[in-house]
Every structure is written in C-alpha cells, then in structure tokens.
Amino acid sequence: MLAVVLCACALAGAAPAPAPPSAFSPQPSAFSTVGLYVWHDTPSQHAFWKACGINTLQFCDTHWSIRADLLEDYYRRFADGVANAARSGFRTDVILFSNIAQWEGPDEREPTGTGVLFDPRDERARNARLEAIRRAVRALNRADGFTLVAGDPGGAVRAPFGPLPASEWMSMARDVRRVVKREAPRARFSVNPWAIAYWQYPDMSCFTSAWWIREELLTRQVFDAPDLIGPDCGVQIPGHTYYRPLALRVLAEDRAGLAAAPFPDAADIRRLRERGAKRIWAWPYFLLDEADDGDVGPDGVQRPRVQIDTRYIRRCVSQMRAIGVDGIIGNWSYAGHLPKALNTFAFGRFCRDPRATPERVLDEYARLIADDASWRDLSQVFRFVEGLSNWERKLPPEHRLAPLACRLSTSKEAQAALRRVRPRADARFPFPEAPERFLERLAERLREAAPEADPAVGGRP
C-alpha cells in the first residue's frame, strides 16, 4: 500500500534539535551563483529569497507578447524591477527569446501566450527581431546579464515553416551577443539550449524518446560550436537527464536510453572551461515544483499545492556540484512561489552547505515556523508530505529515492499531528507568507491527499 511505500518505520526516538535559526550561515561552495528564475520582480519576496541564500534573480522579457505602442511603459516598469532587485543586493539576469516576432495587435497582448514565429532565414524578419532585442537590451542595460534561450517558446515550436538546422539558432546567438556587447557592455551574455530540438524537429513530440535523444545531440553541437561558448559567452545547461521526470520516464518507457551517464558530465564541463567559459550554470527548470507535464489533483484539476521534494533537490544540487558548474538557477513554473516555499529554502540550503541533509533541512524549517513544543510534529508532517510527492510518482522507479523515516503512516495521523502545531510567537525568519497561512495550505494538501494516501480508502500501490 502507498502508506508503506511513502513512510519508513517509526523513528527510534525524538529527532535531535537542529541548530537555532541564528546559527544559519552559508558554507563555502563551488556555486558563486545561486539563483531563481522568477519571471518578474516580486519585492515582497526579496527578504525571504535572501534569507534562503539566493543571490541572483532571473527575469523574463516578454515584450514580444505586448503591442508595440505599449512597450515604453512595459520597459519602464521592467527596468524599475531590475534596479529594485539590485538595490536589494541581487545580481540580475534577463532571458531573451529568439525567433518570435513583435506582436502588432489589434489586441493589447498576443492571445496564445507563445508568440508568433518567423523564419530566421527571412533576413527582413530576422533584422526586425534583432532590432526589438536591441531595444530591450538598451532599456534593461543595468541588468548584470542576458541569456538567449533556444526554445519553448523561444525557438521553433510547431513552426509553420518547416525544420531548421540548429546552426540557425547558433548564428542568431552570435548576433544577439553582439547586440549585448554594444548596448550593455558591462553585462554578461549566455546561451541556454533549452528545447533546441524544436528548431530542427518542430513537429516531433517531447513525449517520445527520439525528441530527447535529439535534444542531447543538438546541445552537444552548441557546446562544440566554434566562436560561441567561451570567454564572452556563458552557458546555462538544462540537465534534463539528471532530474527531469518527463525525460527520464519517456526514455525508460521506450527503452531507448542515452549514454550510460547523464549529460553533461564533468568531462563536458571541463572542456567548456578549457575553451575559456567563465559562467556555466545549471538550469533545472522543474526542480522546485511538480508541474513537469502537468500537476493535477485527484479530481484532475491542475492547482498549486504545497510541495516538498528535499531528497531530489539535494540529489540534483549534489550532482551539479560534482560535475563542476559554478552556478545553479532554481526555476518555478505555473503555480507561483508560495506552494514551493519549503523547496526554495531547501534549495538554498543545499547549494550553500554541501553537508546539509533533507532531514536536517526539514527540521530547520519546522523549527522556524513552530514553537519548541510542536516543531517535531511539524517536521514529521513535512516528511509525510514529501512521501506524497506527485513529482516523485512521475519518475520511473529506478530513479526514485528511498523515503525519509517518518512516524506517520496515514493522512489521518498527519492531520492530527498538524493540529498540534503552534506557530512561534517570536518570528525569526522572513517567510513569504504568514506561518498560519502556510499551515492552512499544508492542511489542504493533507485533505486533498487523503484518498490516495490512506489504505482504508483505496490508496494506490
């Protein structure tokens, strides 16, 4: 039954008390950049992100989705957000899209949200796009860096004009690098080959192993391309086959597989270093949430839910540290930041302290929220919820980790434990929302999970 799979046998005794919150201090780490892709500035979260050890915020430039005559106000607000993040002590990076044409209306916003594609072999259309990017970089030239992504939706997803060689995107990347050098000479430039397979295979589904095999092969072409990644061009690596449920599941189901080791490995990173690359960041978009290929509740409705995945966050961070990247961006998707607050805290802790463990981090967060009499109950609830992870269930069995030890066997027991939790009277941490509201979210998660978690009501194996 699921309860047996999710929670190990009871702990022999009470968990040792974690270090008091005032003792938290970043430890030396290979990661000079610990960032979040947050889409746009959210000042109310700055204190929380900084307390988690985040030092870089990555924003997304979606000017192409807004009617051209409205862009002046858009860039004014965007530039204010970049400046405000810098004042709060963050470095900033802006994501740029490649072959999406500027929306011309008549609606204020491009209705699909994915953009109108143009054929980059069309010189007129390509020059128009480069001019739009030039305007963006000029308006946002106080940012510390700019990153050009390859696809989804930055590239040729379901392109109406047929397949493109990946070399077309690399050529465009070189053009954008020149734009950044001219318009923001102090800013760094990087490329991110996320979903580059769509450029050459726009009609191929990512629910097939063939797509993922081509994604790796084309990413290798980007790594090897002359005059691209080097002293004046960093790279952000998706690392799909290290952690991503969709990629790992599709490859396992099709029995296709790739190389014996995930890509890239330490040798790949070393070769990039030898070519002079100074910024090599991991970019695991779906590491901090459960949204990869959909996150649905028992009723089939997609919704934000409290998410706890500390074992998998730690594994991925440790793997990225081992292969030698110097930065890592933890990304969010559709459901916003509040359901992922604990995952964000854990991400920062694992990035900053190689010695941190999932158990220790859960104890720490529980002690920040709950009083001295009830934090251990809350930490056990965290362990139980981690065992309910929808993200974990999407992984093929051979990629799942052993469950955390947990005294709670059913959602009913977990709900009873949560009712005993009392928030601390003396707040010691800048939470993204009131602890009471977070505990309400946690209770909702347990109620939602009851049919699937309890043997008595038909839990799944």
Class of domain 27-356: alpha beta
User: Residue 186's pLDDT is what?
Assistant: 96
Quick one: pLDDT at residue 158? 76
pLDDT tens, residue by residue, 414-457: 999 999 999 999 878 999 999 999 999 999 999 887 654 443 32
User: Average model confidence (pLDDT) for the chain?
Assistant: 86
pLDDT score of 255 = 67
Mean pLDDT, range 303-320, rounded to an integer:
91
List, for residues 63-96, the tens digit of each pLDDT value.
999 999 999 999 999 999 999 999 999 999 999 9
> What pLDDT is attached to residue 183?
98
Residue 258 corresponds to which tokens in the numbers above?
Answer: 């790739």
Task: Please confirm whether the linkage preceding 106 is cis (ω < 30° from 0).
Answer: yes
With beta carbons less than 8 A apart as the criterion, state whether 101 and 118 touch: yes
Partners of 236 in the β-ladder? 281
Of the two residues 81 and 21, the one the predictor is more confident about is 81
Q: What is the DSSP string of 283-325?
A: --TTSSSS-TT--B-TTS-B-------HHHHHHHHHHHHHHT-
Contact between residue 173 and residue 192 where contact means Cβ atoms under 8 Å apart? no
pLDDT at residue number 369: 96
pTM over the 0.85 mark: yes
pLDDT tens readout for residues 101-125: 999 989 999 998 888 888 888 999 9
What number of H helices and E strands is found in the chain? 17, 10
- Other beta carbons within 10 angstroms of residue 419's beta carbon come to 12
- Tell me the two tokens of residue 348: 């920062």
User: Of 45, 63, 62, nearest to 54 (Cα)?
Assistant: 45
Q: What is the pLDDT of residue 257?
A: 52
Residue-wise pLDDT tens digits, 339-389: 889 999 999 999 999 999 999 999 999 999 999 999 999 999 999 999 998
Closest C-alpha to 438, from 338, 343, 351: 338
Confidence of residue 13 (pLDDT cuts 50, 70, 90): very low
